Amino acid sequence: MKSLLIDAGNSRLKWGVGSAGEIHRTGHISQAKIREQGLQALTTRLPRHVERVMVSNVAGTSFATRLAGVVGAHCGCDVHFARVSKAGFGIRNSYSQPRRMGVDRWVAMIAAYAEQQSACLVVDAGTAVTLDAIDANGEHLGGQILPGARLMATALSSSTSDIPAISKAAKASEEPLAMFGRNTSVAVSEGTLNAVVGAVERAFRALQSSAIEADIILTGGDASRILTTLDRPANHRPNLVLQGLLHMLESAE
């Protein structure tokens, strides 16, 4: 059974076609382009011949309504939205009110735990950065949310008079002293990236100090930059949310 899987985030929308545990025909489009050109900019890129559509949406209820109508008509099938629950797929949510958790975090945790079947620290480095810790028994220990590197840089630019906007983030370097920028743009780029990396490494050490040996699972737009900067191994899963959606669907069959 072919499934169209959609990860609708704040900055971009990703999709892929999933079947038999595999994801292929992936793509993405920025939310800015959708706002400029409408959802037709998306549907012209999507396949039609699928049996079902599953969405993780954190782009708001209004966007979800429009997306369901347009994509449902395009594919000729119902559009289903993932929901956060107290427990499911081997994980128990630590939130007393699970629906207050962003669904992308829940779906990413489902994918990570389904793959690892062991303790993991799930890091989604997008517009915002989320970190969620899961122990070996599938207990969600809680999480953290902080601004992503680009959002931090934007805040610095908009809230100060002498720090310019950064048009392009500096590439991560294996040279330790490269973190010290020799102009303001590089200093901001390195500082914001290292703020995120430091949060991930501190979270990992906190788990270690509690005798929890966790695998780090990275996803999101800044994952590749973080991967080369971390002082410990990590697994890069660019399509983690799509994998979680597919697992949810196929586990229910």
Mind listing the pLDDT tens digit for each residue in 119-154?
Answer: 999 999 999 999 999 999 999 999 999 999 999 999
**Residue for token digits 């971390």?**
230
Query: Cα 168 to the chain's mean position, in Å?
Result: 21
Q: Report the C-alpha gap between 157 and 139 in whole angstroms.
A: 39
What average pLDDT is seen over the chain?
A: 94
pTM value surpassing 0.85 = yes
pLDDT tens-digit profile of 150-179? 999 999 999 998 888 876 665 666 677 888
Helix (H, G, I), strand (E, B) or coil at 167: coil
CB burial of 157-183 (b: ≥16 within 10 Å; e: otherwise) equals eeeeeebeebeebbebeeeeeebeeee
Say if CB 11 and CB 58 are below 8 A apart.
Answer: no
Active site residue 124: no
Q: Which long-range contacts (CB under 8 A, 24 or more apart) does 132-137 make?
A: 132/105, 132/108, 133/203, 133/207, 133/212, 133/214, 134/91, 134/109, 134/214, 135/212, 136/212
Domains and CATH numbers, the chain: 3-81 (3.30.420.40), 118-148+184-238 (3.30.420.40)
pLDDT of 253 > 90? The answer is no
Tell me how far apart the alpha carbons of residues 77 and 49 are, in angstroms, rounded to a whole number.
10
Check 7, 104, 132, 222 and give the catalytic one. Answer: 104
Please determine, for residue 46, whether its predicted confidence score (pLDDT) is greater than 80: yes
